[in-house]
Amino acid sequence: MRTELIFSTLAGIETELLAVLAADTQTAKGPDAKPAPALLTSDEAVKTAAAAVLAGGEFKAGANETLLLHAPAGLKAKRLLVVGLGKAAKATAHSVRSAAGTAVRFAKPRGIRAVVLALPESDVVNGAASARAAAEGALVGDYDPDTYRSDRKDLSVQSFTLAAPASADKKALEGAFAEGTIVGESQNFARELVNEPGNKLTPTVLGQRAAEMAQEVGLKWEVHSTEKLHELKMGAFWSVSQGSEEPPALIVLRYEPAGGAPKDSPVFGLVGKGITFDTGGISIKPADNMEKMKYDMAGGAAMLGAMRAIALLKPKVPVIGIVCAAENMPDGKAQKPGDVQTAMSGKTIEIINTDAEGRLVLADGLHYAKQLGATHLIDAATLTGACVVALGMVNAGSFSNDNETYKKFDGALEISGEKFWRLPLGDEYMEMIKSDIGDIKNTGGRWGGAITAAEFLHVFADETPWIHLDIAGVAWVEDSRPYIAKGPSGIAVRSILEWVRSY
């Protein structure tokens, strides 16, 4: 999709579809209070074109609600689409992101290939933040997962234009819009990887895709396999891959700021779980929904998407990205419940359940990131069903061993708009994963499963400031929404990026 920012009056824009945002300005409460939709534009021609239908009461400006007008009087646009943001008092740049996605997804099945969105003019939504969010939302909204349909028709919106008033701060909007384009494309890059089936995206191919991206955006890269895992004594990582015909891939990407990092700069280690297909191993999963286990590398994809955005947005801190990619398969060579594995750190791990494999690859990934010089760690993984039970498919889980580090992440969420809920850590949970035969067990039982999994990783992060993101419930969109297609969400790319940039 081509993206463009223009400064123009709306009435004179020739386009297939002009989208304008509206909010419900009603402040009264009670049974007699009716919605009061108002367009967030100062363009009188647009207001006049939509006045009669807005006065009719049919359109209430609810979040992502749409109203289409054909051949609007006084406008050169062929169609006028009004998209709701919900209550004006609650509208934010995140509402604009969803509305932009809604406009693009509205256009796609109708054969509309060019969309112009009017930047909302309102005291409640910041212009620059809205410009960035609009670009992100449009790109994310345009993505569909039907990659392998033999009768696939390209319904993509070919161009998305954001129209700002001529009086707007040109420099601020141009910078924000360019950022949004990079972030939206990086989120889609992660989604494309997650969407690939396990027979197409093996660990080796994931390594190749990561290397291609790194070369494109100027990152240093290395991709290693079995020999390197043995050399580094990554026994936890190797134990997951040993049952598969497909070799593992240890993917390492490096970003260095131009001119070098400032003195005493932190070094960030981004570690992602890259299980390209997860059968559960010997502790095999039920057949129902196992096909979705191609998405078990969504944490690794999030790290690759974040590294892409970091390379292009160039923060002044060094970043190391590590993805531990493997297949978890049942085979004569596969590890068994009861086995004891030795991690790269020297810690011994009793395998209770071979389907608790993500924490094994991350254990070695976290330790390796520290060896490479990382002073701050963040990992992302579709790690536990327990986190989905706790938080549903609305919030992802987050954990941290350092309040100041997490405070930075909390601030990043205000920019990214992604929903994470912090869950606790504690010695009582650590007791639940102590092993009789080794140091720790790879599961702590049914209760508090997301927390004991986080405590397992805490062992390997140790005292290094660290954040763990359990994205199992939100990495896959189960049903299409007005602003995003069913399928991979690309969760955590924006939040990880903003966490790094906050330093």
Instruction: Confirm whether 108 is a catalytic residue.
Output: no
- Among candidates 380, 371, 374, which has minimal Cα distance to 398? 380
- Residue 325 and residue 241 in contact, taking contact as beta carbons nearer than 8 Å: no
Candidates 105, 359, 370, 501; catalytic one: 359
The identity of residue 169, as a single letter, is D
Q: How far is it, in rounded angstroms, from Cα 326 to Cα 278?
A: 9
97 catalytic? Reply is no
CB 280 within 8 A of CB 335: no
**Strand arrangement of the beta sheet that strand 319-328 belongs to:** 220-224, 249-255, 319-328, 268-278, 376-381, 466-470, 396-400, 420-422
* CA 471 – CA 380 distance, rounded (Å): 7
**Catalytic one of 78, 285, 419, 422:** 285
| Helix/strand/coil percent split, the chain, to 5 | 40, 20, 40
Which residues have a Cβ under 8 Å from the Cβ of 199 and sit 6 or more positions away?
none
- The DSSP code for 494 is H
Please give the Cα distance from 272 to 357 (Å, whole number). 13
- Copy the structure tokens of residue 38: 């108002």
> Distances in Å between the alpha carbon of 32 and those of 23, 26, 27?
19, 11, 12
Contacts of 151 (CB under 8 A, 6+ apart): none
C-alpha to C-alpha distance for 269 and 441, rounded to whole angstroms: 25
Answer whether 102's CB lies under 8 Å from 149's CB: no
Residues contacting residue 39 through CB under 8 Å, at least 6 positions apart: 20, 21, 22, 46, 47, 50, 54, 82
Q: How far apart are CA 64 and CA 66, in angstroms?
A: 6
Encoding tokens for residue 351?
Answer: 């395998």
Q: Do β-strands 220-224 and 17-24 pair in parallel, antiparallel, or remain unpaired?
A: unpaired
Q: How far is CA 136 from CA 129, 188, 471, in A?
A: 11, 10, 20
Helix (H) or strand (E) run with residue 376 in it = strand 376-381
* Distance of alpha carbon 120 from alpha carbon 164, whole angstroms: 8
> Catalytic amino acids?
285, 359
